[in-house]
Amino acid sequence: MNTVDAKACPIIANHIKVALVGQPNVGKSMLINSVSNAHLHVGNFSGVTVDKTEVLFDYKDYHFTVVDLPGTYAFTDYTIEERVTHEYLCAEDYDIIINVVDSTNLEKNLQLTSELLTMSKKVVIALNMSDEATKEGININAEYMAELIGVPCIKVSAATKEGIAELIEAVMLKHETPKNKPKLVFSESVEEEIAQLVWYLDKHKFKSTNSYRNIAINLLKGNKKTYAKLHDEPIWVELQPILIEASKHIELHHDSDDIKESFAEEYASFNRGIAAEVLKQKKQEEKKTLTEKIDSVLIHPLFGIPIFLFFMWLLFQLTFEIGNIPMDYIDMFFTWFGNTIGATIANDDIRSLIVDGVIAGVGAVVLFVPNIIILFIGIALLEGTGYMSRVAFLLDGFFHKFGLHGQSFIPLVTGFGCSIPAYMSARILKNDRDRLLTLFIIGFMSCGARLPVYVLFAGAFFAPDMAGNILFGIYVSGALLGLVAAKVLKITAFKGKDEPFVMEMPKYRLPTFKLIWHTVLTKTMMYLKKAGTFIAGASMLIWFLSNYPHNSELIKSYETKIETTQDKALKLRLGHQLSEAELEQSYLGTIGKFSEPLFTPLGFDWKMSVALQAGLAAKEVVVSTLGVLYALGSDVDQESSSLMGAISKNIPFPSAVAFIVVIMIYLPCLAASIVFTREAGHIKYFFYLFAFTSVAAYVMAFIAYNVTLLLV
């Protein structure tokens, strides 16, 4: 299985394009990972795969392209993901469907399978999680099942990689053999109507790629696409009355006025039949499953929410406490690295650019890697264990009061890591209004990149044993502000009916170490990559703007002053005054001074104003900018006492509070803004978001500043 080869020579061998379909949370992504050794994001809640992903690999004489489609319970087009999957399966060109099925919940999963069987495509069923099923005493007779429904059924386990080779072989075999008709049998009354429609289509020799039987089923089910196709055909005139009559019969038989419901019942009884035939489960006495035992504690009506809050508090405590341990070493490394590199550069300007600009700026950002890693591990655990859905369950009642949906919780928590995946995971919300509302407040959940600013300020103004609590407090108040903002938006901009809340609660799973490792590693590498490219560039720009233009007269006048004096302390003070004066007349100083009046009501000096504006590009830049501005020339990072010291000395406490408030509320970063615009669907929403967050940040910071002034 060589991915590189597959990309290099796609023509010489045979291609098989596979569509991977299954209900949410049955391990599709994990299966694709073990088939191809790719590293897709895997989580334990529905909606991890929000977009289709393609993976290429080679096996024997074939090149495989596997398309991982978002999970769907049935072809109802309820959520965006379901629509993506349904449209892909109907319209795109592919050779074969692998239907991934959770062996521990066969009957439920067959619901999608039986719908797939009416699609006139080759299907192979992967009975996934067979290892787990065996553990639970469930035994599926795969051969018998294949015989009953007429498609190959292969037992696999994505976790242990058992059966993977057999699955690929089965796909190849299926690909080489001609299409056969799957056996999907309905009740007698429905079969009669189908037979009549088939007879009619056959009489008129209707031309179609799909079988007459499938067309008949889809017509009876009220499948819009089949209707649209037949509607323009001449036979429609005669077909329609027959169809209406047939639907009436079925509805009568089911004592229902809804043909879709009748068909759902038909499918359900077919599935029940199959499950009863092929499934053997050891009789277990009615004892609680592990998941139910855990749930009785974690979603307890009284203790559930306090337990959740405790977990979150613990996470931020750990983030601060453990994350700070390696900081000194990283700091020492960058100081040493800066000095070593600096010693090899002769030119003063270039040395200053490299050492004070690039190395200091990047070092300031890299310093927070340990904190970021701990935060990411926490979020990966939350995603991987299945606890996320429980919290959505617990919080829905509370969220609902604020006009949010319980499932909004999932993108919102993802937002604590990074806003970009959070914006993307908002797709699990079906209703556009709910989704937009969630998109608008994701920014209130402070992302990992803001952590450095908080750590810096919490460290500057509070004792180390308090800093963790302050950090937790900042995150909680950001989230609460988000809720209030949601309420405001809900009663003004996004009025409307609420979306129903119906969500699966997955089984608890202990995510494998490998899984956590991959997730955290990928995210951390992304952070580091950003530090090495974007942040390095931004630091150079900030350095340039704060060093130029040179004013030689100013320098000369100070230098003569310094030379004439004998007092060492005075010399030092004059030196500082010189760098202050130089900074003030630099480009950056000019920009800062220009925008200073705007920020004066919040208690910001021009340096803080500049840092905030630079932060629009990325929040990491706020720290590196503050570093360059407050400690120009010396070590630029928040752990070196100089910057933390400089901040606690130069920034009054109320201004610092207002500054944190602005950081909490205003736009996350350039990249996130782009993703936001894409997900929201129109550029106008970006301008709304910009206006909304900026005004909210300004107003809240103004209030925070004045309240703190009164209190202190």
Partner 1 sequence: MKTLLDCHKACKVKILKLNTSGDLKQRLISFGIMKGAEVEVLEHAPAKSTIEIKVGKMRIALRGEEAKLIDVEKI
Where on the chain is the footprint of partner 1 (CB under 8 A)?
73-74, 76, 78, 104-105, 107-108, 111, 256, 258, 260-261, 264-265, 268, 291-292, 295-296, 299, 301-302, 304-305, 389, 392-394, 396-398, 400, 406, 430, 498, 500-507
CB of residue 10 to partner 1, shortest distance in Å: 37
Q: Which of 21, 75, 25, 77 is nearest to 52 (CA)?
A: 21
> Looking at beta carbons only, is 58 or 132 nearer to partner 1?
132
Q: Which tokens go with 607?
A: 């340096």
CB of 62 to partner 1, least distance (A): 34
Contact between residue 69 and residue 52 where contact means Cβ atoms under 8 Å apart:
yes
- Angstrom CA distances, 436 to 49, 404, 432, 552, 689, stand at 20, 11, 6, 54, 10
The CB-of-278 to partner 1 minimum distance in angstroms stands at 15
Find the shortest distance in angstroms from Cβ 285 to partner 1: 16
Q: How many CB atoms lie within 10 A of CB 291?
A: 15
Cβ closer to partner 1: 275 or 485? 275
Rounded CA separation 142/127 (Å): 8
CB of 539 to partner 1, least distance (A): 47
- The nearer residue to partner 1, 24 or 589, going by C-beta atoms, is 24
CB 591 within 8 A of CB 583: no
Phi, psi (deg, nearest 5) at residue 260? -65, -40
**Nearest CA-CA partner of 583 in 614, 629, 636, 624:** 629
Q: Least distance to partner 1 from the beta carbon of 49, Å? A: 18
From CA 323, how far away is CA 376, in angstroms rounded? 12
> C-beta of 469: minimal distance to partner 1 in Å?
26
Nearer to partner 1 by Cβ, of 71 and 384: the residue is 71
When the beta carbons of 295 and 679 are compared against partner 1, the nearer one is: 295
Q: How far apart are CA 108 and CA 544, in angstroms?
A: 62
Question: Cβ of residue 309: shortest distance to partner 1, in angstroms?
Answer: 14
Compute the least distance from the CB of residue 19 to partner 1, in Å.
Answer: 19
Structure tokens belonging to residue 409 = 């919780």
Sequence-separated (6 or more) residues with CB below 8 Å from residue 330: 363, 366, 367, 369, 370
In the complex, least distance from residue 129 CB atom to partner 1, rounded to whole angstroms: 12
Structure tokens at 566: 């004998």
d(CA 504, CA 498): 19
Distance CA 217, CA 76 (A): 16
Min separation Cβ 116 and partner 1, Å: 14
List the one residue out of 597, 611, 620 whose CA is nearest residue 646.
611
With CA atoms as reference, report the closest residue to 253 among 241, 269, 237. Answer: 269
In this structure, the number of other CB atoms found within 10 A of the CB of residue 568 comes to 8
Nearer to partner 1, 271 or 319 (CB): 271
Contact assessment for residue 670 and residue 535, using Cβ atoms and an 8 Å cutoff: no
Tell me how far apart the alpha carbons of residues 28 and 488 are, in angstroms, rounded to a whole number: 39
Cα(330)–Cα(456) distance, integer angstroms: 15
Cα atoms in the Cβ-side hemisphere of radius 13 Å centred on 7: 6
- Minimum distance between the CB of residue 700 and partner 1, rounded to whole angstroms? 29
* Residue whose CB is less far from partner 1, 40 or 279: 279
**Which is nearer to partner 1, 78 or 558 (by Cβ)?**
78
Q: Which of 138, 531 has the CB closer to partner 1?
A: 138
Residue with smaller CB distance to partner 1, 41 or 390: 390
Instruction: Determine contact, residues 251/258, Cβ cutoff 8 Å.
Output: yes
Q: Which CB atom, from 241 or from 301, has the smaller least distance to partner 1? A: 301
Of 403 and 592, nearer to partner 1 (C-beta) is 403
What is the closest distance, in whole angstroms, from the C-beta atom of residue 239 to partner 1 in the complex? 25
DSSP at 284:
-
CA distances from 180 to 111, 150, 195, 274 (A): 21, 8, 19, 19
Rounded to the nearest whole angstrom, what is the least distance from the CB of residue 193 to partner 1 in the complex? 20
Closer of 385 and 640 to partner 1 (Cβ): 385
Nearer to partner 1, 132 or 356 (CB): 132
**Shortest distance in whole angstroms from residue 609 CB to partner 1:** 44
Query: Please, what is the minimum distance in Å from the beta carbon of residue 503 to partner 1?
Result: 5
Specify the DSSP element, H or E, that contains 90: helix 80-91
Output 303 or 687, the one with its CB closest to partner 1: 303
In terms of C-beta density within 10 A (0-12 exposed, 13-18 middle, 19 or more buried), how is residue 669 classed?
buried
Query: Residue 291 or residue 469: which is nearer to partner 1 going by CB?
Result: 291
Q: How far, in Å, CA of 79 to CA of 71, rounded?
A: 10
Q: Report in angstroms how near the CB of residue 498 gets to partner 1 at its nearest.
A: 8
Which parts of 634-682 fold into alpha helices (H)?
641-650, 653-665, 670-680
DSSP string, 372-386: HHHHHHHHHHHHHHS
59 phi/psi in degrees, rounded to 5: -145, 125
Residues near 460 by beta carbon (within 8 Å), at least 6 away in sequence: 638, 644, 645, 647, 648, 651, 656
Rounded distance between C-alpha atoms, residue 631 and residue 635, angstroms: 7
CA atoms within 13 A on the CB side of 619: 28
Considering the complex, state which of residue 111 and residue 189 has its C-beta at the smaller distance from partner 1.
111
Compute the C-alpha angle 657/663/668, nearest 5°. 170
